Chain A
């Protein structure tokens, strides 16, 4: 296939030694005007997403969790009510058909269940996981992103991206290694 060079270049990856270096670099990259950037770290680095310019609205997990919890709770309660008062009404110990206090334990459990399932699967879906292939996995050094190294990637579709200049820029902000990430399809 005859693909132009820019299409197979995913971006430039800079490697750093510590979370502190990565934070400094992330701020500089933002200041330099790059927007399509991401950082990779072996553990969550406090403040990194802010340094990359990801705002609070970026995180929809709490909202999704709330929806799951409300859905589970309301669904659970009204299902029990329907079962006991409408589908198969049964007089148990003279209690009213809508003996709602007796429905609370199951309602509570289903609230927690709904919220938890939505939190986990919502988080995975918004992170677009599972994702078996990613161009970054072509970089041998990137294995250390799950161990002891910190990476910053300026993606090729950023309007300011220029292979040689961006590489020089990454070196100027003290990246230990600068590696071109290629998507070899």
Chain B
């Protein structure tokens, strides 16, 4: 946003356009962000939130232990609905991760300054979401202790994974995504870890941050290579993030099941992933900026821009729904036409209408600026979209599988307690990790904020 443009010079617009409130120096940015980790006492609110999240995490371990004891029969899956909550949740979580990479990599390549204060925790969100996602296919295999069969290692059996299968592509896509996201995140953290090392007064913190910072000293030579590596990682992560949800959509679209076998799936899945991911970034950012007084750094501009991205990707998703629908009818294929009928009038029709309400109708309110700049409204909206995207995956997985070709092979799906407890448990894992992250590492990139301070002071002169 150029400050020189005279048409946008009203004080209100300038306030909304800021990515950093004025009056900050290098030192104040460092103090404010590092103090959250180093000096702020643990608050009752943090403890209460952590206790709830940790209890849910314990519920997850119990659910998984019971699953391993009894087998996948404790879930609602059956024949023909072999993919129940496990796959719905997998796709939901992995999709959420995509916004983190989009913010950190794509907005970086596009030189969008507003990414700076939200990229760190968005990347953390990506990592934690991928961790949650990875659990589901693993435990869905039924014998997770054999999961290493999916990796190509020279076994005494002399056989290999089937590289022509989208499920194996998925193993490679998700594990690469997890690895690259972790690398990207860690590289971004190195200078901040050095800051924490230098500012920590407690011996244990000095040692831990010191080891993690690896002796970073901010040398110009180091920064030069560092920037080069960071830029390259951003360039690599950009096609990667598009490929990951494309490969996830191949899990469906390569099968011949009605409602899955469609070429619109890759772009529509990627857009949906970014849509849900931005919703989750908002769900996290709004309480975070409130709890740690970060309104100076995560400004209305950030929230509004994220709302705009949600609106845009939501429209792409709506386009996807429309063409999925249209192509089914236009094809004249009786199974595809029947699927449309099933979505609108079948036993799971309420899920479909709830999905349309959450993902298409409600987000249209974001056209209104008052809604986009209202923090509470945005928070509610982000929750609605998170729910809507979960419903989308439920509709895709369950409606298509319950009634495919031969009526004698039709079935019904009813999730059990253990389905819900495992899902709630991964939410617990996600939130637990986020709580630990906020207290243990700088939630906003300090080095990049200093750069922003330097740029802002240049602009003011």
Contacts and interface: CB of A to CB of B under 8 A. Distances in A.
Genuine A/B complex: yes
A62 B447 contact: no
Q: Is the interface of B mostly helix, strand, loop or mixed?
A: helix
B21 interface: no
A83 B152 contact: yes
B30 A148 contact: yes
A42 B195 contact: yes
Contacts, number: 194
Pick from A44, A110, A131 the residue with the most CB of B within 10 Å: A44
Pick from A58, A112, A120 the residue with the most CB of B within 10 Å: A112
A42 B218 contact: yes
Contacts of A143: 198-199
Nearest to B34: A147
A126 interface: yes
Interface residues of A, number: 63
A32 B113 CA distance: 37
Q: Is the interface of A mostly helix, strand, loop or mixed?
A: helix
Interface in B183-236: 183-184, 186-187, 191, 194-195, 197-199, 210-211, 214-229, 232-233, 236
B228 A61 contact: yes
Contact of A120 (B187, B194, B240): B187
Nearest to B166: A105
Nearest to B196: A146
A109 to B, nearest CB: 4
B170 to A, nearest CB: 9
A159 interface: no
B44 interface: no
A58 B195 contact: no
Nearest to B27: A148
Interface in B309-326: none
Given A39-B220, A132-B215, 16 more contacts: A40-B219, A42-B26, A42-B30, A45-B454, A61-B228, A62-B228, A62-B232, A105-B166, A108-B239, A112-B239, A115-B232, A116-B179, A117-B183, A123-B228, A133-B215, A146-B197
Interface of A: 19, 38-45, 48-49, 52, 54, 58-59, 61-62, 65, 69, 79-80, 83-84, 87-88, 90, 92, 95, 99, 102-103, 105-106, 108-110, 112-113, 115-117, 119-120, 122-124, 126-127, 129-134, 136-137, 142-148
13 contacts: A40-B220, A43-B448, A44-B226, A49-B223, A61-B229, A105-B250, A123-B225, A143-B198, A145-B198, A146-B197, A146-B198, A147-B198, A148-B450
Interface of B: 25-27, 30, 152, 158-160, 162-164, 166, 168-169, 172-173, 176, 179-180, 183-184, 186-187, 191, 194-195, 197-199, 210-211, 214-229, 232-233, 236-237, 239-240, 243, 247, 250, 447-448, 450-451, 454
